[in-house]
């Protein structure tokens, strides 16, 4: 029996209402793309660039907080690293969160203002009823506040400058010794990093990068290719002659090094921690305490690494 016109039309309509699988997938992709978050705004990207260090010559980008290299050249990737870094302050993470499409819609609406009641005539009431209803007020998209000017009044901004160059390093031998323990003689390829916290001065600097690099280079040169002697040790005995430094340990091991090959340091142990303290003092002596206070420097942090991802940091508050 042949189908009637009604049956034929019904069958045809049903086929038309079932889109092909490819069209369904394409529709889902469009919806997914529409729901994806927007990129960072220009203001946010400018903030992100403030929290990374870029070495133009080496093409290296590093996080200002954990000093980890970020291999990507994409600013959004830098922001992603900063948001995931456990050392990044929470207020910084909040400032560089990407905006979403629905951010404006989900924002709480402003409370309605009370309107004073007035006596209206019948004509006014009729006109108001006939007038089209007012369009809903759409809250403006959330925008970051402008970056405050640290030189202006009313702000308590703090800035950090961080320097870690390839030439800020020294190779040295040492061993840790304390009561009842002594390491074997060995050495490290030490690396130095300096972070200074303070306010921006009239010249636009916290401290000139060039000054930090110049002083750090001299400190590293003095320690390079030497044996680190902890002169305040309570577990080692020292004696000197015209040419050599002699060291006697608790286990009666004897060492003798040429004076020219030794760095005699006012520390108890030649650990990375105490080296950081020593170098911190050297930096302050070179800058002078008065000059740092005059510039508004608040903190000085020195990091000494013995190997990749293995370092000790010493932070010192600058007080008058």
Please give the pLDDT value at position 28: 55
Q: Which of 73, 94, 115 is the last residue of a domain?
A: 94
Whether residues 301 and 192 fall in one domain:
yes
Does residue 175 come out as left (phi exceeding 0), alpha (psi in the -120 to 50 range) or beta?
beta
Which of the pair, 43 or 137, is modelled with greater confidence?
43
Q: Which of 75, 94, 113 is the last residue of a domain?
A: 94
Whether residues 165 and 286 fall in one domain:
yes
Please say if the pLDDT value at position 225 is more than 60. Answer: yes
Please give the pLDDT value at position 97: 82
Whether residues 162 and 303 fall in one domain:
yes
Which of the pair, 144 or 295, is modelled with greater confidence?
295
Residue 124, in any domain of the structure: no
Please give the pLDDT value at position 187: 96
Whether residues 279 and 186 fall in one domain:
yes
Please give the pLDDT value at position 147: 47
How many domains does one find in the chain?
2
Residue 306, in any domain of the structure: yes
CA distance 41 to 19: 38
Please say if the pLDDT value at position 269 is more than 80. Answer: yes
Please give the pLDDT value at position 206: 94
Q: Which of 45, 56, 104 is nearest to 80 (CA)?
A: 45
Residue 84, in any domain of the structure: yes
Whether residues 75 and 197 fall in one domain:
no
Question: Tell me: the pLDDT tens digits for 192-219?
Answer: 999 999 999 899 999 999 999 999 999 9
Question: Tell me: the pLDDT tens digits for 79-103?
Answer: 888 788 777 888 778 888 876 544 4
For residues 299 and 315, the answer to whether their CB atoms sit within 8 Å is yes
Residue 24, in any domain of the structure: no
Please say if the pLDDT value at position 316 is more than 50. Answer: yes
What is the CATH number for 256?
A: 3.30.479.10
Which of the pair, 138 or 261, is modelled with greater confidence?
261
Residue 70, in any domain of the structure: yes
Please say if the pLDDT value at position 143 is more than 70. Answer: no
User: Would the CA dihedral through 183, 245, 276, 162 be positive or negative?
Assistant: negative
Which of the pair, 39 or 218, is modelled with greater confidence?
218
Question: Tell me: the pLDDT tens digits for 123-133?
Answer: 444 444 444 44
Can you give the pTM of this predicted structure? 0.54
Residue 320, in any domain of the structure: no
Whether residues 54 and 196 fall in one domain:
no
Whether residues 90 and 162 fall in one domain:
no
Residue 48, in any domain of the structure: yes
For residues 313 and 302, the answer to whether their CB atoms sit within 8 Å is yes
Please say if the pLDDT value at position 106 is more than 50. Answer: no
Please give the pLDDT value at position 45: 80
Whether residues 184 and 88 fall in one domain:
no
Whether residues 163 and 89 fall in one domain:
no
Does residue 309 come out as left (phi exceeding 0), alpha (psi in the -120 to 50 range) or beta?
left
* Mean pLDDT computed over 148-159: 59
Whether residues 311 and 165 fall in one domain:
yes
b (16+ CB within 10 A) / e for 19-31: eeeeeeeeeeeee
Structural domain boundaries enclosing 88 = 39-94
Please say if the pLDDT value at position 35 is more than 50. Answer: no
CA distance 52 to 71: 12
Please say if the pLDDT value at position 64 is more than 70. Answer: yes
Please give the pLDDT value at position 23: 61
Residue 247, in any domain of the structure: yes
Q: Which of 94, 117, 138 is the last residue of a domain?
A: 94
Please say if the pLDDT value at position 39 is more than 90. Answer: no
Q: Helices in the chain by DSSP H: which ranges?
A: 5-16, 21-35, 42-50, 75-84, 90-95, 103-106, 122-130, 209-223, 272-287, 289-294
């Amino acid at each position: 029996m042949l189908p009637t016109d009604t049956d034929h039309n019904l069958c045809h309509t049903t086929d038309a209402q079932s889109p092909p699988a490819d069209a369904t997938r394409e529709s889902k992709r469009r919806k997914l793309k529409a729901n994806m978050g927007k990129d960072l705004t220009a203001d946010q990207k400018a903030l992100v660039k403030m929290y990374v260090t870029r070495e133009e010559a080496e093409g290296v980008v590093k996080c200002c907080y954990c000093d980890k290299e970020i291999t990507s050249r994409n600013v959004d990737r830098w922001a992603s690293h900063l948001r995931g870094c456990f050392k990044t302050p929470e207020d910084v993470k909040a400032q560089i969160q990407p905006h979403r499409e629905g951010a404006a819609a989900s924002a709480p609406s402003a409370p309605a203002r009370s309107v004073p009641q007035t006596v209206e005539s019948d004509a006014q009431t009729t006109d108001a009823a006939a007038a089209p209803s007012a369009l809903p007020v759409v809250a403006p998209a959330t925008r970051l506040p402008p970056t405050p000017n640290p030189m202006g009044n009313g702000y308590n901004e703090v800035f950090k400058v961080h320097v870690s160059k390839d030439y800020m390093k020294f190779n040295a031998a040492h061993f840790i010794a304390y009561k009842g323990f002594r390491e074997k003689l060995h050495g490290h390829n030490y690396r130095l990093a300096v972070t200074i916290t303070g306010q921006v001065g009239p010249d636009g600097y916290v401290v000139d990068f060039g000054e930090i690099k110049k002083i750090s280079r001299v400190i590293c040169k003095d320690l390079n290719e030497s044996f680190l002697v902890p002169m305040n040790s309570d577990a080692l005995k020292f004696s000197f002659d015209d040419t050599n430094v002699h060291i006697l340990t608790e286990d009666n091991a004897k060492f003798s090094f040429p004076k020219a090959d030794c760095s005699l340091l006012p520390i108890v142990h030649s650990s990375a921690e105490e080296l950081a303290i020593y170098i911190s003092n050297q930096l302050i002596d070179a800058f002078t305490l008065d000059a740092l206070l005059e510039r508004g420097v608040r903190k000085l942090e020195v990091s000494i690494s013995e190997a990749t991802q293995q370092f000790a940091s010493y932070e010192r508050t600058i007080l008058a």
